[in-house]
Amino acid sequence: MGGYDPKSPSALFKRLEREHRRSAALWDAESTVGTAVVDPGGEWATALIEAKGPGWSTQTRFTTLLLDPIVLADFAKPLPVRIGKYLRALADLVLSGTAFRIFRHAWRFGCYFLFPFACLVLYALIGALAGTLAARWTNALIGLALAVLIFFGLARWLGQRWPANHLMDLWSFSRDFMRGRRPDAEAQLDRFTAHITETLRAKPCDEVLLVGHSTGALLMLDLAARCLKRDPDFARRARHVSLLTLGSTALKAGLHPAAGKFRADMQRLAADPHLEWVEIQCMTDIINFHRSEPGRLMGLTPAANKPFPLVRNIYLKEMMDRDAYKRIRRSFFRVHYQYVSGNTRRYFYDWFLVCCGPVALGNRMRMKQADLVRRPEGQAPSEHAA
Q: What is the pLDDT confidence band of residue 265, given thresholds at 50, 70 and 90? A: very high
Question: What pLDDT is stored for residue 375 in this prediction?
Answer: 54
- Distances, alpha carbon 30 to alpha carbons 54, 230, 349, 384, in Å: 10, 37, 18, 18
Average pLDDT for residues 96-106, to the nearest whole number?
97
- Those residues with Cβ within 8 angstroms of residue 207's Cβ, 6 or more apart along the chain or in another chain: 238, 239, 240, 241, 242, 360, 361, 386
Average pLDDT for residues 30-39, to the nearest whole number?
94
Shared domain for 115 and 23, answered yes or no, is no
Shared domain for 39 and 139, answered yes or no, is no
Average pLDDT for residues 88-99, to the nearest whole number?
97
Is 383 within the bounds of a domain?
no
Shared domain for 201 and 300, answered yes or no, is yes
Q: Is the pLDDT score of 384 beyond 80? A: no
| Among 128, 156, 175, residue at a domain's last position | 175
Q: In the chain, how many domains are there?
A: 2
Q: What is the pLDDT confidence band of residue 306, given thresholds at 50, 70 and 90? A: confident
What does 326-370 look like in DSSP terms, one character per residue? HHHTT-HHHHHTGGGS--SS--S--HHHHHHSSS-HHHHHHS-HH
Q: What is the pLDDT confidence band of residue 127, given thresholds at 50, 70 and 90? A: very high
Percent of the chain beyond pLDDT 70? 95
Question: What pLDDT is stored for residue 289 in this prediction?
Answer: 97
Q: Is the pLDDT score of 336 beyond 80? A: yes
- Distances, alpha carbon 325 to alpha carbons 284, 289, 317, 328, in Å: 11, 21, 6, 6
Is 381 within the bounds of a domain?
no
Please give the residue range of the domain that contains residue 353. Answer: 9-66+184-374
Shared domain for 367 and 326, answered yes or no, is yes
Average pLDDT for residues 329-358, to the nearest whole number?
94
Q: Is the pLDDT score of 386 beyond 50? A: no
Percent of the chain beyond pLDDT 90? 88
Nearest residue to 34 via CA among 22, 47, 21: 47
| Among 123, 148, 175, residue at a domain's last position | 175
Neighbours of 91 (CB within 10 A): 12
Type of residue numbered 241: V
Q: State residue 278 phi and psi, 5-degree precision.
A: -115, 130
For the chain, the distance separating the N- and C-terminal CA atoms, rounded to the nearest angstrom, is 24
Is 382 within the bounds of a domain?
no
Radius of gyration of the chain (CA): 22
Shared domain for 243 and 366, answered yes or no, is yes
Shared domain for 348 and 219, answered yes or no, is yes
Is 384 within the bounds of a domain?
no
Question: What pLDDT is stored for residue 385 in this prediction?
Answer: 29
Q: What is the pLDDT confidence band of residue 378, given thresholds at 50, 70 and 90? A: very low
Question: What pLDDT is stored for residue 382 in this prediction?
Answer: 33
Q: What is the pLDDT confidence band of residue 372, given thresholds at 50, 70 and 90? A: low
Is 26 within the bounds of a domain?
yes
Helix (H, G, I), strand (E, B) or coil at 78: coil
Is 298 within the bounds of a domain?
yes
Shared domain for 169 and 189, answered yes or no, is no
Question: What pLDDT is stored for residue 8 in this prediction?
Answer: 87
Question: What pLDDT is stored for residue 373 in this prediction?
Answer: 56
Shared domain for 265 and 297, answered yes or no, is yes
Q: What is the pLDDT confidence band of residue 49, given thresholds at 50, 70 and 90? A: very high
Shared domain for 315 and 368, answered yes or no, is yes
Q: Is the pTM of this model over 0.85?
A: yes
Per residue in 183-210, pLDDT (tens digit) is 999 999 999 999 999 999 998 899 999 9
Is 139 within the bounds of a domain?
yes
Q: State residue 131 phi and psi, 5-degree precision.
A: -65, -40
Shared domain for 224 and 361, answered yes or no, is yes
Q: Is the pLDDT score of 374 beyond 60? A: no
| Among 125, 158, 175, residue at a domain's last position | 175
Per residue in 151-162, pLDDT (tens digit) is 999 999 999 998
Is 380 within the bounds of a domain?
no
Shared domain for 270 and 247, answered yes or no, is yes
The strand pair at 30-33 and 44-53 is best described as antiparallel
Q: Is the pLDDT score of 383 beyond 50? A: no
Shared domain for 189 and 171, answered yes or no, is no
Average pLDDT for the chain: 93
Q: What is the pLDDT confidence band of residue 176, given thresholds at 50, 70 and 90? A: very high
Question: What pLDDT is stored for residue 353 in this prediction?
Answer: 95
Nearest residue to 23 via CA among 340, 379, 365: 340
